[in-house]
Protein backbone atom coordinates (compact mmCIF):
# COMPACT_ATOMS: atom_id res chain seq x y z
CA UNK A 1 0.00 0.00 0.00
CA UNK A 2 1.10 3.59 -0.30
CA UNK A 3 3.82 5.06 1.83
CA UNK A 4 1.45 7.28 3.77
CA UNK A 5 -0.83 4.36 4.52
CA UNK A 6 1.58 2.35 6.64
CA UNK A 7 -0.33 1.76 9.81
CA UNK A 8 2.54 0.36 11.82
CA UNK A 9 2.73 2.17 15.14
CA UNK A 10 6.33 3.05 15.76
CA UNK A 11 5.87 6.29 17.61
CA UNK A 12 8.82 7.11 19.78
CA UNK A 13 11.01 4.33 18.34
CA UNK A 14 14.29 5.34 16.72
CA UNK A 15 14.43 3.88 13.21
CA UNK A 16 17.39 1.63 12.45
CA UNK A 17 17.49 3.09 8.97
CA UNK A 18 16.04 6.37 7.83
CA UNK A 19 16.91 7.38 4.31
CA UNK A 20 15.70 10.71 2.98
CA UNK A 21 15.91 11.83 -0.66
CA UNK A 22 18.90 9.62 -1.41
CA UNK A 23 20.39 10.03 -4.88
CA UNK A 24 23.48 8.43 -6.39
CA UNK A 25 25.42 8.63 -9.65
CA UNK A 26 28.22 6.53 -11.09
CA UNK A 27 30.95 8.14 -13.22
CA UNK A 28 31.91 11.75 -13.72
CA UNK A 29 31.34 14.42 -16.36
CA UNK A 30 30.13 13.08 -19.72
CA UNK A 31 29.90 9.52 -18.46
CA UNK A 32 28.01 10.39 -15.27
CA UNK A 33 24.91 8.26 -14.86
CA UNK A 34 22.40 8.79 -12.07
CA UNK A 35 21.11 5.46 -10.78
CA UNK A 36 19.24 6.40 -7.57
CA UNK A 37 16.52 9.05 -7.34
CA UNK A 38 14.73 10.44 -4.23
CA UNK A 39 14.82 7.31 -2.13
CA UNK A 40 12.95 7.47 1.16
CA UNK A 41 12.86 4.45 3.39
CA UNK A 42 12.39 4.08 7.13
CA UNK A 43 12.91 0.74 8.84
CA UNK A 44 12.48 0.02 12.54
CA UNK A 45 14.30 -2.39 14.85
CA UNK A 46 12.89 -5.90 14.58
CA UNK A 47 11.50 -5.46 11.07
CA UNK A 48 12.25 -7.79 8.20
CA UNK A 49 12.00 -5.91 4.92
CA UNK A 50 12.29 -7.45 1.48
CA UNK A 51 13.52 -5.40 -1.46
CA UNK A 52 12.59 -6.52 -4.97
CA UNK A 53 12.86 -4.91 -8.37
CA UNK A 54 14.22 -5.55 -11.85
CA UNK A 55 17.90 -6.11 -12.53
CA UNK A 56 19.70 -2.76 -12.66
CA UNK A 57 17.03 -0.92 -10.67
CA UNK A 58 19.54 0.10 -7.98
CA UNK A 59 18.93 -2.38 -5.14
CA UNK A 60 22.57 -3.29 -4.52
CA UNK A 61 23.66 0.34 -4.85
CA UNK A 62 21.17 1.43 -2.18
CA UNK A 63 22.11 -1.49 0.06
CA UNK A 64 25.81 -0.63 -0.11
CA UNK A 65 25.05 3.02 0.70
CA UNK A 66 22.99 1.97 3.73
CA UNK A 67 25.83 -0.32 4.82
CA UNK A 68 28.41 2.50 4.55
CA UNK A 69 30.33 0.51 1.95
CA UNK A 70 29.96 3.39 -0.48
CA UNK A 71 30.16 7.13 0.19
CA UNK A 72 26.94 9.07 0.12
CA UNK A 73 26.57 11.86 -2.45
CA UNK A 74 23.18 13.42 -1.89
CA UNK A 75 20.41 13.07 0.67
CA UNK A 76 20.60 11.61 4.13
CA UNK A 77 20.82 8.14 5.62
CA UNK A 78 20.73 7.72 9.35
CA UNK A 79 21.75 4.44 10.90
CA UNK A 80 20.40 4.29 14.47
CA UNK A 81 20.40 8.07 14.52
CA UNK A 82 23.93 8.45 13.07
CA UNK A 83 24.21 10.37 9.80
CA UNK A 84 26.14 8.67 6.99
CA UNK A 85 26.50 11.71 4.74
CA UNK A 86 30.01 13.13 5.22
CA UNK A 87 30.88 10.39 7.70
CA UNK A 88 34.66 9.96 8.15
CA UNK A 89 36.37 6.72 7.12
CA UNK A 90 36.84 5.83 10.77
CA UNK A 91 33.18 6.49 11.42
CA UNK A 92 32.21 4.22 8.53
CA UNK A 93 34.55 1.54 9.77
CA UNK A 94 32.99 1.61 13.26
CA UNK A 95 29.52 1.54 11.87
CA UNK A 96 30.20 -1.47 9.65
CA UNK A 97 31.05 -3.49 12.75
CA UNK A 98 27.41 -3.31 13.72
CA UNK A 99 26.23 -4.64 10.37
CA UNK A 100 26.14 -8.20 9.10
CA UNK A 101 26.65 -8.23 5.32
CA UNK A 102 25.68 -11.09 3.08
CA UNK A 103 26.49 -10.55 -0.57
CA UNK A 104 26.01 -12.59 -3.71
CA UNK A 105 29.78 -13.05 -4.01
CA UNK A 106 30.61 -14.37 -0.61
CA UNK A 107 34.35 -13.46 -0.60
CA UNK A 108 35.45 -16.19 1.78
CA UNK A 109 39.17 -16.52 2.50
CA UNK A 110 40.44 -19.61 0.70
CA UNK A 111 42.90 -20.38 3.49
CA UNK A 112 40.32 -20.45 6.29
CA UNK A 113 38.02 -23.31 7.26
CA UNK A 114 34.38 -22.54 8.03
CA UNK A 115 35.11 -22.63 11.76
CA UNK A 116 38.18 -20.37 11.47
CA UNK A 117 36.24 -17.91 9.28
CA UNK A 118 33.80 -17.42 12.14
CA UNK A 119 36.49 -17.31 14.83
CA UNK A 120 38.34 -14.58 12.92
CA UNK A 121 35.12 -12.58 12.57
CA UNK A 122 34.57 -12.91 16.32
CA UNK A 123 37.85 -11.12 17.01
CA UNK A 124 35.95 -7.91 16.22
CA UNK A 125 33.91 -8.33 19.38
CA UNK A 126 34.68 -6.11 22.35
CA UNK A 127 35.67 -7.68 24.67
CA UNK A 128 37.03 -10.55 22.60
CA UNK A 129 35.47 -13.90 23.48
CA UNK A 130 37.66 -16.60 25.04
CA UNK A 131 38.88 -19.26 22.56
CA UNK A 132 36.52 -21.80 24.17
CA UNK A 133 33.56 -19.44 23.91
CA UNK A 134 34.38 -18.60 20.27
CA UNK A 135 34.68 -22.30 19.40
CA UNK A 136 31.37 -23.06 21.10
CA UNK A 137 29.38 -20.26 19.48
CA UNK A 138 30.88 -20.78 16.03
CA UNK A 139 30.19 -24.52 16.20
CA UNK A 140 26.60 -23.98 17.29
CA UNK A 141 25.86 -21.54 14.49
CA UNK A 142 27.45 -23.73 11.81
CA UNK A 143 25.48 -26.73 13.07
CA UNK A 144 22.33 -24.64 13.02
CA UNK A 145 22.98 -23.94 9.33
CA UNK A 146 23.50 -27.62 8.53
CA UNK A 147 27.30 -27.37 8.27
CA UNK A 148 28.15 -29.50 11.33
CA UNK A 149 29.93 -32.08 9.20
CA UNK A 150 31.93 -29.55 7.23
CA UNK A 151 33.20 -27.12 9.84
CA UNK A 152 36.86 -27.83 9.14
CA UNK A 153 36.52 -27.60 5.35
CA UNK A 154 38.04 -24.73 3.40
CA UNK A 155 35.96 -23.04 0.66
CA UNK A 156 37.57 -25.11 -2.15
CA UNK A 157 35.91 -28.22 -0.68
CA UNK A 158 32.47 -26.64 -0.23
CA UNK A 159 29.60 -26.35 -2.71
CA UNK A 160 28.21 -22.93 -3.70
CA UNK A 161 25.31 -23.28 -1.27
CA UNK A 162 27.60 -24.40 1.55
CA UNK A 163 29.92 -21.44 0.96
CA UNK A 164 26.91 -19.17 1.01
CA UNK A 165 25.89 -20.60 4.38
CA UNK A 166 29.39 -20.02 5.78
CA UNK A 167 29.12 -16.40 4.60
CA UNK A 168 25.72 -16.13 6.29
CA UNK A 169 27.14 -17.56 9.52
CA UNK A 170 30.03 -15.08 9.33
CA UNK A 171 27.57 -12.21 8.94
CA UNK A 172 25.48 -13.33 11.91
CA UNK A 173 28.09 -14.56 14.39
CA UNK A 174 28.54 -11.16 16.06
CA UNK A 175 24.79 -10.56 16.45
CA UNK A 176 24.65 -7.39 14.33
CA UNK A 177 21.90 -4.81 14.82
CA UNK A 178 21.44 -4.61 11.08
CA UNK A 179 21.58 -7.49 8.62
CA UNK A 180 21.96 -6.50 4.96
CA UNK A 181 21.58 -9.40 2.59
CA UNK A 182 21.75 -9.43 -1.21
CA UNK A 183 20.04 -12.55 -2.59
CA UNK A 184 21.10 -14.64 0.44
CA UNK A 185 19.05 -17.72 -0.36
CA UNK A 186 19.37 -17.84 -4.16
CA UNK A 187 21.97 -20.64 -4.08
CA UNK A 188 20.23 -22.60 -1.32
CA UNK A 189 17.95 -25.63 -1.48
CA UNK A 190 14.57 -25.67 0.20
CA UNK A 191 15.82 -26.97 3.55
CA UNK A 192 18.83 -24.73 4.00
CA UNK A 193 16.89 -21.72 2.65
CA UNK A 194 14.32 -22.36 5.37
CA UNK A 195 17.03 -22.60 8.08
CA UNK A 196 18.39 -19.23 7.03
CA UNK A 197 14.95 -17.64 7.02
CA UNK A 198 14.25 -19.04 10.52
CA UNK A 199 17.51 -17.56 11.73
CA UNK A 200 16.64 -14.12 10.32
CA UNK A 201 13.24 -14.32 12.02
CA UNK A 202 14.79 -15.26 15.31
CA UNK A 203 17.29 -12.39 15.18
CA UNK A 204 14.52 -9.94 14.34
CA UNK A 205 12.12 -11.16 17.03
CA UNK A 206 14.50 -11.95 19.87
CA UNK A 207 17.27 -9.42 19.32
CA UNK A 208 15.30 -6.69 17.54
CA UNK A 209 17.77 -6.87 14.66
CA UNK A 210 16.70 -5.14 11.47
CA UNK A 211 16.88 -7.32 8.38
CA UNK A 212 16.91 -5.85 4.88
CA UNK A 213 17.01 -8.49 2.17
CA UNK A 214 17.22 -8.07 -1.57
CA UNK A 215 15.48 -11.16 -2.88
CA UNK A 216 13.16 -12.67 -5.42
CA UNK A 217 12.68 -15.73 -3.24
CA UNK A 218 9.01 -15.84 -2.32
CA UNK A 219 9.72 -18.28 0.53
CA UNK A 220 10.90 -15.22 2.47
CA UNK A 221 7.58 -13.46 1.97
CA UNK A 222 5.94 -15.26 4.89
CA UNK A 223 8.70 -14.19 7.26
CA UNK A 224 8.82 -10.56 6.17
CA UNK A 225 6.93 -7.55 7.49
CA UNK A 226 7.24 -5.32 4.47
CA UNK A 227 8.09 -5.45 0.83
CA UNK A 228 9.75 -2.55 -0.94
CA UNK A 229 9.76 -2.49 -4.72
CA UNK A 230 12.42 -0.58 -6.64
CA UNK A 231 11.91 0.58 -10.21
CA UNK A 232 14.40 2.67 -12.19
CA UNK A 233 16.38 3.75 -9.15
CA UNK A 234 13.40 4.72 -7.06
CA UNK A 235 11.38 3.05 -4.29
CA UNK A 236 8.12 2.75 -6.05
CA UNK A 237 6.05 0.98 -3.39
CA UNK A 238 6.38 0.05 0.26
CA UNK A 239 3.82 -2.40 1.53
CA UNK A 240 3.00 -3.97 4.89
CA UNK A 241 2.66 -7.58 3.85
CA UNK A 242 0.27 -8.90 6.51
CA UNK A 243 -2.03 -5.94 6.13
CA UNK A 244 -2.00 -6.19 2.37
CA UNK A 245 -2.68 -9.93 2.33
CA UNK A 246 -5.50 -9.48 4.84
CA UNK A 247 -7.15 -6.79 2.74
CA UNK A 248 -6.80 -8.90 -0.43
CA UNK A 249 -8.44 -11.77 1.43
CA UNK A 250 -11.29 -9.50 2.59
CA UNK A 251 -11.82 -8.19 -0.93
CA UNK A 252 -11.85 -11.73 -2.25
CA UNK A 253 -14.77 -12.51 0.07
CA UNK A 254 -16.82 -9.43 -0.87
CA UNK A 255 -19.81 -10.62 -2.85
CA UNK A 256 -19.53 -7.67 -5.20
CA UNK A 257 -16.00 -8.76 -6.25
CA UNK A 258 -16.78 -12.46 -6.58
CA UNK A 259 -15.94 -12.54 -10.29
CA UNK A 260 -12.87 -10.33 -10.07
CA UNK A 261 -9.52 -12.09 -10.43
CA UNK A 262 -6.88 -11.98 -7.72
CA UNK A 263 -4.38 -9.86 -9.66
CA UNK A 264 -7.02 -7.13 -10.03
CA UNK A 265 -7.99 -7.33 -6.36
CA UNK A 266 -4.30 -6.92 -5.56
CA UNK A 267 -4.36 -3.63 -7.47
CA UNK A 268 -7.61 -2.62 -5.75
CA UNK A 269 -5.88 -3.12 -2.40
CA UNK A 270 -3.27 -0.58 -3.53
CA UNK A 271 -5.97 1.96 -4.42
CA UNK A 272 -7.78 1.85 -1.08
CA UNK A 273 -7.47 4.76 1.32
CA UNK A 274 -7.53 4.05 5.03
CA UNK A 275 -9.79 6.11 7.27
CA UNK A 276 -10.54 6.05 11.03
CA UNK A 277 -13.90 6.70 12.65
CA UNK A 278 -14.65 7.40 16.31
CA UNK A 279 -17.51 5.67 18.19
CA UNK A 280 -20.82 7.35 17.27
CA UNK A 281 -19.43 8.89 14.09
CA UNK A 282 -21.63 8.54 11.00
CA UNK A 283 -19.80 6.84 8.13
CA UNK A 284 -22.58 7.16 5.55
CA UNK A 285 -26.01 8.71 5.89
CA UNK A 286 -29.25 7.40 4.49
CA UNK A 287 -30.37 9.50 1.51
CA UNK A 288 -26.90 10.91 0.78
CA UNK A 289 -25.24 10.63 -2.59
CA UNK A 290 -22.70 7.78 -2.70
CA UNK A 291 -19.06 8.49 -3.53
CA UNK A 292 -17.24 5.53 -1.97
CA UNK A 293 -17.27 1.81 -1.38
CA UNK A 294 -16.31 0.82 2.20
CA UNK A 295 -14.53 -2.17 3.69
CA UNK A 296 -14.20 -2.47 7.47
CA UNK A 297 -10.77 -3.56 8.65
CA UNK A 298 -11.26 -3.44 12.42
CA UNK A 299 -14.07 -2.36 14.74
CA UNK A 300 -17.86 -2.53 14.54
CA UNK A 301 -20.45 -0.39 12.80
CA UNK A 302 -24.25 -0.40 12.94
CA UNK A 303 -26.53 -0.17 9.92
CA UNK A 304 -29.85 1.55 10.62
CA UNK A 305 -32.91 2.47 8.57
CA UNK A 306 -34.99 5.53 9.21
CA UNK A 307 -38.70 5.34 8.52
CA UNK A 308 -41.30 7.90 9.56
CA UNK A 309 -38.78 9.56 11.85
CA UNK A 310 -37.97 6.30 13.64
CA UNK A 311 -34.51 4.78 13.33
CA UNK A 312 -34.23 1.01 13.43
CA UNK A 313 -31.02 -1.01 13.70
CA UNK A 314 -30.88 -3.65 10.99
CA UNK A 315 -27.35 -5.08 11.15
CA UNK A 316 -23.99 -4.94 12.88
CA UNK A 317 -20.95 -5.00 10.60
CA UNK A 318 -17.41 -6.04 11.57
CA UNK A 319 -13.94 -6.69 10.14
CA UNK A 320 -13.97 -7.88 6.53
CA UNK A 321 -17.52 -6.69 5.87
CA UNK A 322 -18.24 -4.15 3.19
CA UNK A 323 -21.01 -1.72 2.32
CA UNK A 324 -21.88 1.15 0.07
CA UNK A 325 -21.81 -0.63 -3.29
CA UNK A 326 -25.50 -0.33 -4.18
CA UNK A 327 -25.51 3.44 -4.34
CA UNK A 328 -22.49 3.30 -6.65
CA UNK A 329 -23.80 0.54 -8.89
CA UNK A 330 -27.31 1.95 -9.29
CA UNK A 331 -26.51 5.62 -8.85
CA UNK A 332 -29.13 5.85 -6.12
CA UNK A 333 -29.09 7.51 -2.67
CA UNK A 334 -27.68 5.66 0.33
CA UNK A 335 -30.24 3.10 1.51
CA UNK A 336 -29.15 3.10 5.16
CA UNK A 337 -27.11 4.99 7.72
CA UNK A 338 -23.92 3.34 8.94
CA UNK A 339 -22.56 4.54 12.28
CA UNK A 340 -19.33 3.52 13.98
CA UNK A 341 -20.11 1.65 17.21
CA UNK A 342 -16.49 1.34 18.32
CA UNK A 343 -13.29 2.77 16.88
CA UNK A 344 -13.49 1.73 13.25
CA UNK A 345 -10.65 1.45 10.75
CA UNK A 346 -12.06 1.25 7.24
CA UNK A 347 -10.79 1.21 3.68
CA UNK A 348 -12.45 3.42 1.09
CA UNK A 349 -12.46 2.99 -2.65
CA UNK A 350 -13.67 5.89 -4.74
CA UNK A 351 -16.59 5.48 -7.12
CA UNK A 352 -14.61 5.55 -10.38
CA UNK A 353 -12.04 3.03 -9.19
CA UNK A 354 -14.84 0.82 -7.85
CA UNK A 355 -16.79 0.89 -11.11
CA UNK A 356 -13.72 0.19 -13.21
CA UNK A 357 -13.01 -2.92 -11.12
CA UNK A 358 -16.55 -4.18 -11.46
CA UNK A 359 -16.41 -3.69 -15.21
CA UNK A 360 -13.30 -5.83 -15.51
CA UNK A 361 -14.10 -9.13 -17.16
CA UNK A 362 -14.32 -12.12 -14.87
CA UNK A 363 -11.25 -14.34 -14.96
CA UNK A 364 -9.25 -16.97 -13.20
CA UNK A 365 -6.52 -17.37 -10.74
CA UNK A 366 -5.51 -16.84 -7.16
CA UNK A 367 -2.04 -15.38 -7.49
CA UNK A 368 -1.83 -12.69 -4.83
CA UNK A 369 1.37 -13.98 -3.29
CA UNK A 370 3.21 -14.41 -6.54
CA UNK A 371 2.16 -11.00 -7.76
CA UNK A 372 4.53 -9.34 -5.32
CA UNK A 373 7.44 -11.14 -6.83
CA UNK A 374 6.30 -10.70 -10.41
CA UNK A 375 6.24 -6.93 -9.80
CA UNK A 376 10.04 -7.24 -9.94
N1 LIG B 1 30.44 0.25 -10.36
C2 LIG B 1 29.55 0.72 -11.23
N3 LIG B 1 29.87 1.61 -12.18
C4 LIG B 1 28.98 2.10 -13.03
N5 LIG B 1 27.67 1.77 -13.04
C6 LIG B 1 27.27 0.88 -12.11
C7 LIG B 1 28.17 0.30 -11.16
N8 LIG B 1 27.47 -0.54 -10.37
C9 LIG B 1 26.21 -0.50 -10.80
N10 LIG B 1 26.07 0.35 -11.84
C11 LIG B 1 24.81 0.68 -12.55
O12 LIG B 1 23.88 1.15 -11.60
C13 LIG B 1 22.58 0.67 -11.86
C14 LIG B 1 22.06 -0.04 -10.62
O15 LIG B 1 22.84 -1.18 -10.37
P16 LIG B 1 22.59 -2.13 -9.14
O17 LIG B 1 23.72 -3.10 -9.11
O18 LIG B 1 22.36 -1.32 -7.94
O19 LIG B 1 21.23 -2.86 -9.59
P20 LIG B 1 20.45 -4.08 -8.90
O21 LIG B 1 19.05 -3.62 -8.73
O22 LIG B 1 21.19 -4.53 -7.70
O23 LIG B 1 20.49 -5.19 -10.05
P24 LIG B 1 20.57 -6.81 -9.93
O25 LIG B 1 19.17 -7.28 -9.58
O26 LIG B 1 20.97 -7.24 -11.30
O27 LIG B 1 21.59 -7.17 -8.89
C28 LIG B 1 22.71 -0.21 -13.09
O29 LIG B 1 22.30 0.54 -14.20
C30 LIG B 1 24.17 -0.54 -13.16
O31 LIG B 1 24.55 -0.71 -14.48
MG1 LIG C 1 22.17 -6.35 -7.20
Atom 30 in ligand 1: which residue has the minimum CA distance? 56
Atom 9 in ligand 1: which residue has the minimum CA distance? 61
Ligand with an atom nearest the CA of residue 235? 1
Q: Is 232 left (phi over 0), alpha (psi -120 to 50) or beta?
A: left
Predicted pLDDT at 110: 95
Instruction: Identify whether the C-beta of residue 37 lies closer than 8 Å to the C-beta of residue 233.
Output: yes
Q: How far apart are CA 253 and CA 121, in angstroms?
A: 51
Per domain, the residue ranges of the chain are: 4-242, 255-375
- What confidence category does residue 2 fall into, taking pLDDT thresholds of 50, 70 and 90? very low
Instruction: Identify whether the C-beta of residue 81 lies closer than 8 Å to the C-beta of residue 45.
Output: no
Q: Taking each helix axis from N to C terminus, what angle separates 131-144 and 114-122, rounded to the nearest 10 degrees?
A: 130
How far does residue 61's CA lie from ligand 2's centre (Å)? 7
Ligand with an atom nearest the CA of residue 25? 1
Q: Taking each helix axis from N to C terminus, what angle separates 241-253 and 262-271, rounded to the nearest 10 degrees?
A: 120
Q: How far apart are CA 26 and CA 10, in angstroms?
A: 35
Using a 6 Å CB cutoff, which residues line ligand 1? Answer: 26, 35, 53, 55-61
- Is the pLDDT at 183 greater than 80, yes or no? yes
Closest C-alpha to 56, from 29, 36, 27? 36
Atom 31 in ligand 1: which residue has the minimum CA distance? 56
How far does residue 56's CA lie from ligand 1's centre (Å)? 5
Span 37-54, mean pLDDT? 94
Closest C-alpha to 292, from 319, 320, 326? 326
Q: What is the pLDDT of residues 75-123, one digit of tens each?
A: 999 998 899 999 999 999 999 999 999 987 778 999 999 999 999 999 9
Q: What is the pLDDT of residues 141-171, one digit of tens each?
A: 999 999 999 999 999 999 999 999 999 999 9
Atom 27 in ligand 1: which residue has the minimum CA distance? 55
How far does residue 158's CA lie from ligand 2's centre (Å)? 24
- Is the pLDDT at 186 greater than 70, yes or no? yes
* 211-215, 256-260, 365-369: least confident range: 365-369
Predicted pLDDT at 236: 82
Q: What is the pLDDT of residues 282-341, one digit of tens each?
A: 999 999 999 999 999 999 999 999 988 899 999 999 999 999 998 998 889 999 999 999
Name the pairing type of β-strands 273-277 and 344-350: antiparallel
State the CB neighbour count (10 A cutoff) for residue 91.
14
How far does residue 31's CA lie from ligand 1's centre (Å)? 15
Q: What is the pLDDT of residues 20-41, one digit of tens each?
A: 999 999 999 999 999 999 999 9
How far does residue 61's CA lie from ligand 1's centre (Å)? 6
Ligand with an atom nearest the CA of residue 64? 1
Closest C-alpha to 200, from 232, 175, 228, 217? 175
Q: What is the pLDDT of residues 205-233, one digit of tens each?
A: 999 999 999 998 878 888 899 989 899 99
Instruction: Identify whether the C-beta of residue 235 lies closer than 8 Å to the C-beta of residue 77.
Output: no
How far does residue 183's CA lie from ligand 2's centre (Å)? 8
Q: Which of 29, 33, 56 to mutate to test the pocket of ligand 1 (most atoms within 8 A of CB)?
A: 56
Q: Let me know the angle formed at the C-alpha of 53 by 270 and 205, rounded to the nearest 5 degrees.
A: 75
- Using the atom order of ligand 1, give the atom closest to the CA of residue 233: 14
Q: How far apart are CA 101 and CA 85, in angstroms?
A: 20
- What confidence category does residue 363 fall into, taking pLDDT thresholds of 50, 70 and 90? very low
Predicted pLDDT at 290: 92
Backbone φ and ψ of 209, nearest 5°: -70, 150
Q: Which of 27, 59, 67, 105 to mutate to test the pocket of ligand 1 (most atoms within 8 A of CB)?
A: 59
CATH superfamily of 4-242: P-loop containing nucleotide triphosphate hydrolases (3.40.50.300)
Q: How far apart are CA 200 and CA 213, in angstroms?
A: 10
- What confidence category does residue 360 fall into, taking pLDDT thresholds of 50, 70 and 90? low
Range 128-144 burial, b when 16+ CB lie within 10 A, else e = ebeeeebbebbbebbeb
Question: What distance lies between CA 198 and its chain's CA centroid?
Answer: 16
For domain 255-375, give the CATH number: 2.60.120.10
Span 354-364, mean pLDDT? 67
How far does residue 182's CA lie from ligand 1's centre (Å)? 13
Instruction: Identify whether the C-beta of residue 219 lies closer than 8 Å to the C-beta of residue 233.
Output: no
Percent helix / strand / coil, the chain, rounded to 5: 35, 30, 35
Atom 1 in ligand 1: which residue has the minimum CA distance? 26
Atom 16 in ligand 1: which residue has the minimum CA distance? 58
Instruction: Identify whether the C-beta of residue 258 lies closer than 8 Å to the C-beta of residue 357.
Output: no
- Is the pLDDT at 374 greater than 70, yes or no? no
Q: Let me know the angle formed at the C-alpha of 210 by 78 and 275, rounded to the nearest 5 degrees.
A: 85
How far does residue 100's CA lie from ligand 1's centre (Å)? 21
Atom 17 in ligand 1: which residue has the minimum CA distance? 60
Amino acid sequence: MELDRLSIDNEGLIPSIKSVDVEYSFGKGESEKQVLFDNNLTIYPGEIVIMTGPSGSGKTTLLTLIGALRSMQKGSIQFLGRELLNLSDNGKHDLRKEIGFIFQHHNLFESLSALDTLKVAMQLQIPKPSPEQAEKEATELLQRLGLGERMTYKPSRLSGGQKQRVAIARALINHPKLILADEPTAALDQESGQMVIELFKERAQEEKATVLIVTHDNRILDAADRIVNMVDGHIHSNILIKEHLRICEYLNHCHVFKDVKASILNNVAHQLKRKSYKPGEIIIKQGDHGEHFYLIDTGRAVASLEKNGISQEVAVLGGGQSFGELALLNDEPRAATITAQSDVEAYLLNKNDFLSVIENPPALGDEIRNIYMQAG
